């Protein structure tokens, strides 16, 4: 593949993660005026509208198998991911959510191996994952014992990471259909909205526009909808298409570090020794696993 194309894929993945590392902070601010379901709904509506304006074309139905792939991507990458992620931010720190998101590359690699046969997995891969699990436990302990937070937030954050891994693998499959990345991304958002509707009905959702009267709320919602959703999903999906699900997911390793720094600087969240130890274990496990992969299967490393 053309080197310039690969370079663009890596740059898009890096920029996407840099933006996503700050979304927990914006969401945390919005939670003062909106519920998790409110934020989710408005964010996706804004994103879908932006993508429709950018490219008002549609993908025609071809087969049930292809349609089910889009539906699965919409459910995992939109409906479930945002529900788990936004709920997690109600109960735990934005930095916790960012750190726990770092398990996603491990899960993506396993799912890619099982369903896409992208690469071979070795014993050190699983050993590295075990080391990272220790870090995840420390992070959860930090939130529960030090700051008296409900561990359900950390569990939700991990479920969000799992949902995202499923989405990344499905997106890799969708990339083989050779559709325009903007149009395919919007179709995924459409199905995410469709499967959000039952949740809206069950929770008694009502339009709450009063929160938008606040300029910080309006700007943060637009940032999440246009920047972090519409644009970043395009750049992420483009990266998955160009460099693959596993290489793209590797950039998620940067998220805990960026998120913790931003959360401390903007939200004033404490960086404790336990949190630092947790990050160290997670990143050590990632390095341990990926270094082995590099020695034996250098093709997947950045």
For residue 292, what pLDDT is reported? 43
- For 267-283, the pLDDT digits (tens) are 676 677 777 887 788 77
Contact predicate 48/78, CB 8 Å: no
For residue 1, what pLDDT is reported? 58
pTM of the model: 0.79
CB-based contacts of 201: which residues, under 8 Å, 6+ apart?
none
For residue 299, what pLDDT is reported? 37
Give me Rg for the CA atoms of the chain.
Answer: 19
For residue 150, what pLDDT is reported? 59
**Reduced to 3 states, what is the DSSP secondary structure of residue 297?**
coil
Contact predicate 136/158, CB 8 Å: yes
The segments of the chain whose pLDDT lies below 50 read 147-148, 292-302
Contact predicate 125/109, CB 8 Å: yes
Contact predicate 294/124, CB 8 Å: no
Q: How far apart (Å, rounded) are the C-alpha atoms in residues 28 and 41?
A: 16
Domain ranges of the chain: 3-300
């Amino acid at each position: 593949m053309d080197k310039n194309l690969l370079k663009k894929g890596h740059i898009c993945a890096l920029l996407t993660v840099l933006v996503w590392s700050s979304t927990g902070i914006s969401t945390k601010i919005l939670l003062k005026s909106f519920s998790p379901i409110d934020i989710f709904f408005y964010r996706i509506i804004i994103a879908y509208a932006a993508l429709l304006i950018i490219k008002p074309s549609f993908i025609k139905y071809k087969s049930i198998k292809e349609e089910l792939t889009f539906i699965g991507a919409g459910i995992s990458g939109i409906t479930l991911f945002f529900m788990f992620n936004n709920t997690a931010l109600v109960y735990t720190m934005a930095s916790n959510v960012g750190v726990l998101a770092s398990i996603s590359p491990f899960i993506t690699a396993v799912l890619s191996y099982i369903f896409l046969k992208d690469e071979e997995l070795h014993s050190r891969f699983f050993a590295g994952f075990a080391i990272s699990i220790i870090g995840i436990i420390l992070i959860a302990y930090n939130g529960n014992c030090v700051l008296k937070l409900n561990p359900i937030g950390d569990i939700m954050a991990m479920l969000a990471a799992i949902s995202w891994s499923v989405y990344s693998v499905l997106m890799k499959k969708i990339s083989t259909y050779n559709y325009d990345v903007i149009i395919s991304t919007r179709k995924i958002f459409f199905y995410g909205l469709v499967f959000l509707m039952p949740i809206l009905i069950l929770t008694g959702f009502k339009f709450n526009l009063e929160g938008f009267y606040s300029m910080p709320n309006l700007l943060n919602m637009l940032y999440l909808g246009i920047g972090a959703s519409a644009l970043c999903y395009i750049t992420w999906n483009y990266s998955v298409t160009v460099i693959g699900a596993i290489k793209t997911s590797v950039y998620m390793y940067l998220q805990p570090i960026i998120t913790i720094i931003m959360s401390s600087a903007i939200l004033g969240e404490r960086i404790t020794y336990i949190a630092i130890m947790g990050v160290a274990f997670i990143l050590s496990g990632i390095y341990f696993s990926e270094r082995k992969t590099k020695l034996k299967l250098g093709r997947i490393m950045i």
